[in-house]
Amino acid sequence: MVILTGGCSFTAPEHSWAHELGRCAGLPVHNHAEYASGNRLIARNFRYGLSRLLKEHRPKDVAAFIMWSSPNRHELFISQDENPDFADHFPRRQLDPQICNHVERDLGKHPQDYSRFWVKGGGSAERYLSPWTRKPAFRKFKSYYKNEHSFELSFIETLEEILGLQYMLKGLGVPYRMMCWQNIFSQTAEIKRDAQQAPEVLGESETDGIGSGSCSDRSLKGSVRGVELTRGQPLLVEQYAWAQHLWDLIDWSPWWFYEDDRVQKGGLGEWVVQASQAQGDLPFGSHPTPQAHAEFAKKIVFPLLVGMKELEIGKNNHVLESSL
């Protein structure tokens, strides 16, 4: 039995809840999360990881956990065969942390094939894009957010990715649970402002704000200890009628949300601030601390794992068997 996880930087680190879950359960973890990933890239990486695991494991022996991220994040696909400016993006053939090549990466190993890759546009883009990648990528990101980006479409595409993964996992018979890094389903003031002002937030220089502003993933900012209080806020699906049919098709029963009298459809971020033992802010670069990740894995995700009735728990794992 193995654990498969996907997500963004709330899942990717070695100290994250994903790896802590493996330690709690005594099981190997295949973590295909990537820093700064949007939801389409999260789904791509997860599907690739699942395809690899199913070559060696039965579907009912894979426990899958996906933590979704900001709908506004966008990725660039750069191919040596099709992009005339490929050399401008990657002249030194040197690994860049903002580059994703999930087919070659193989669980943490550096990619060997540099002929095509994703340039991630999430929160760490400004910080981690190398000087030789940052300039051409910035131009493309800025053009996209200024001329093409639609939050409505981004929200619809997020629901499509969720629904697609659910259909795939159910069809294959893979037990799964879904979560989000924070509330991604409500009409928060930050989300509405960012959707309108993304081009301006980018700034004028070619090194300003690729990540935090352009990707509009700042909805943890500017509120109580780092999270926005969403109880009573309208859901985005109430604003975007073209998303309603997707919303209705999603199975919400395998989801975990943090909710209280001030938060609805919250995720890891809200749980850290409102309910964790520390009940502090998100000082770790607006991310949970290692201690918060460990607590989340033990108190929230491990019980979700034990509660997966589809898994054959107990035959080869005494830790899980004793928790039943």
User: pLDDT tens, 188-240?
Assistant: 644 544 444 444 444 444 333 333 333 333 333 334 455 567 788 889 999 99
Residue of higher predicted confidence among 3 and 284 = 3
User: pLDDT tens, 7-54?
Assistant: 999 999 999 999 999 999 999 999 999 888 899 999 999 999 999 999
User: pLDDT tens, 59-108?
Assistant: 999 999 999 998 988 888 888 888 888 777 665 555 555 666 655 555 45
| pLDDT above 70 as % of the chain | 69
Distance between CA atoms of residues 150 and 17, nearest Å: 32
Torsional class of 77: left (φ above 0), alpha (ψ -120 to 50), beta (otherwise)? beta
pTM of the model: 0.84
Evaluate if residue 259 carries a pLDDT over 90.
yes
Distance between CA atoms of residues 36 and 163, nearest Å: 22
Average pLDDT over residues 158-187: 96
Query: Which distant-in-sequence residues (6+ apart) come within 8 Å of 236 by Cβ?
Result: 155, 185, 186, 187, 191, 243
Domains of the chain: 2-73+151-323 (3.40.50)
Q: What dihedral do alpha carbons 60, 160, 261, 6 form, nearest 10°? A: 50
On whether the CB atoms of residues 287 and 301 are closer than 8 A, the answer is no
Residue carrying the six token digits 């789904």: 43
